[in-house]
Amino acid sequence: MNKKLKIGVVCYPTYGGSGVVATELGIALARKGHHIHFISYKRPARLNIFSENIYLHEVTTANYPLFEYLPYETSLASKMVEVVEKEKLDILHVHYAIPHAAVAYMAKQILKARGKSIPVITTLHGTDITLVGKNPAFAPVVEFSINQSDGVTAVSNHLKQETIDRFDITKDIEVIYNFIDFKRFRRVNKDHFKQAIAPNGEKIVAHTSNFRKVKRVGDVIRIFNEIHKKVPSRLLLIGDGPERNSLEELCKELECRDSVRFLGKQDAVEELLAISDLFLIPSQNESFGLAALEAMACEVPVISSNIGGLPEVIQHGISGFLEDVGDVKAMAAHGISLLTNEKMLEQFRAAAIARAKDFHIDSIVPMYENYFCSLIECDKGVHA
C-alpha cells in the first residue's frame, strides 16, 4: 500500500475487548507507516508502545454546577473535530457503537458545515449490540448511527447476524475477525515463574475477564473446584470488576481459596498465559472471544460455552471443548481429561496454536487497510 493514511481511532481506554482490539490495530497500522491518532479520555490500557506514528489526544470535560452528569459526548465530538482539522485526518475509525458512532455522526456534521468531508467506520464489538445496545434508552440512536456510518464492520459472523436481527440495518456489514500478534502472544520458557506459582508441579488453569455477570466467573471457580478435586492445580484469575467480592466469597465457600490467585488487571497477560495449561471462558455471551484466542496463541487449550462467536474460534474436540452455558460438570470433565493425559494435552496445545494462526495479525490488518481504501481515494491491493 503506497499511500499512508492519517487515521483517527476512537475507543475506550479499558481492558475490555473493544479497547484492546482498537489499540492493537492502531499499533499494527502505525508499524506499517500510517499515522494513528488515538482519541480517548485517557491512555488506552494496551498503548504502552509509542512511536513517531502514534499520537494520543485526551478528551477532557468541563464541570459546571448545572450538569448532574458531565457532557462527555459533547467534549468528545469537539475533540474529534479538532483532531480531524488540525491533523488533516483521512478517516475516523470508531470502536464500540455507544456512544462513539453517534458522536462521530455529530462531528461529521460539524465538519461538513465547515467544508470538510471525512468517512467514518464503525466497528461493532459485542455488548454495544447484544447487551447495552438493545436497551430502549439507546436502541434508536444505535440503529441510526450504524446506518449513518460510511462503513460498518463486526468482529464475527455471529455478531453481524445479531445486529441484523436486532436492528433495521440498511448498511452492509463487513466481518473482519479479531486478530493476534504472535510477536507478543506466544509460549516462551517461563519455568522459573511457573515454579513460583505452582511449586509442586501443579497444573495451571487461567481465566481473563472484566469480572462481570455475563462472564460467569463463578462457573470458572466451580469448574476449577471440580478439576482440583482430581488434579493438583492452581487457578489464576486475571482481571477485576464488580463480581470480585462475591467471587472471593465463593472460593471460601467451596474451600478452594488457597488454590486460587486473584491477580487483578495485568498488562503482561501473555506471561501468565505462557505458563498456563488450560483456559476457561464459560461466558453467557461472547461476540468473538479474544481472551480465548490469546490463550490459544500461547498453546493453551480452551474450554468454553457454545455461544456467540466462540464456535468460530474454537474447534470442539480439537483445540478445545464447547459446552452449553452453565454446564459446569461437562466442562470440568473435559478439563480433567486434558490435564490427566499428557499426550492428549500436547495434541490440543498444537491444535490450539494452529487454529490461532488463522487469525494472525499479518492477515487481518490488510483487510482493514483494504476496507479503508474502499471508502477513500488511495491505492488498492493490500497484501499480507
Q: Say which CATH number the domain at 333 has.
A: 3.40.50.2000
Query: Above 80 in pLDDT, residue 2?
Result: no
Clarify whether residues 315 and 370 are in a common domain: no
Say whether 305 sits in a helix, a strand or coil.
strand
Domain presence at residue 307: yes
**In a shared domain, residues 326 and 203:** yes
* Residue 380 banded pLDDT, cuts 50, 70, 90: very low
Residue 192 backbone phi and psi in degrees, to 5: -65, -35
Q: Are residues 151 and 36 in the same domain?
A: yes
Q: Based on the fold, state whether residues 117 and 203 are members of the same structural domain.
A: no
The confidence score (pLDDT) of residue 384 equals 40
- Does residue 60 fall inside a structural domain? yes
* Domain match, 155 and 54 both: yes
Q: Is residue 380 part of a domain?
A: no
**What mean pLDDT do residues 27-49 have?**
91
Q: How confident is the prediction for the chain on average, in pLDDT? A: 93
Shared-domain flag, residues 195 and 116: no
378 falls in which pLDDT band (50, 70, 90)? low
Question: With 60 as the cut, is the pLDDT of residue 64 above it?
Answer: yes
Q: Are residues 103 and 45 in the same domain?
A: yes
What is the spatial distance between Cα 122 and Cα 176, in angstroms, rounded to a whole number?
12
**For the chain, how many structural domains are there in total?**
2
* pLDDT recorded at residue 1: 60
Q: Give 172-227 pLDDT, tens digit per residue.
A: 999 999 999 999 999 988 788 889 899 999 999 999 999 999 999 999 999 999 99
CA distance 204 to 206: 7
Cis peptide before 232 (omega within 30 of 0): no
Domain-embedded: residue 167? yes
Looking at the predicted structure, is the pLDDT value of residue 268 above 60? yes
Render pLDDT for 319-373 as a digit per residue (tens, 0 to 9): 999 999 999 999 999 999 999 999 999 999 999 999 999 999 999 999 999 999 9
Please indicate, yes or no, whether residues 88 and 210 belong to a single structural domain of this protein. no
What is the percent of the chain where pLDDT is above 70? 97
User: Residue 333: inside a domain, yes or no?
Assistant: yes
Q: What percent of the chain has pLDDT over 90?
A: 82
Residue 278 covered by a domain = yes
| pLDDT number for residue 357 | 97
Do 305 and 370 sit in the same domain of this protein?
A: no
**Whether residue 311 sits in one domain with residue 241:** yes
Residue with cell 487483578: 264
Q: CB within 8 A of 110, min separation 6: which ones?
A: 77, 81
Give pLDDT, residue 133. Answer: 65
Q: Are residues 336 and 364 in the same domain?
A: no
- Check whether 135 has a pLDDT greater than 90: no
User: Does the structure show a pLDDT above 90 at 124?
Assistant: yes
Q: In terms of domains, do 225 and 268 share one?
A: yes
Mean pLDDT in residue range 14-31: 89
Predicted structure pTM score: 0.89
Q: Which helix (H) or strand (E) holds 301?
A: none
Question: Cα separations (Å) of 234 from 199, 256, 269?
Answer: 10, 9, 16
Establish if 383 belongs to a structural domain.
Answer: no
Query: What count of residues does the chain have?
Result: 384
Domain span at 149: 6-179+360-375
* Assigned domain for 381 exists: no
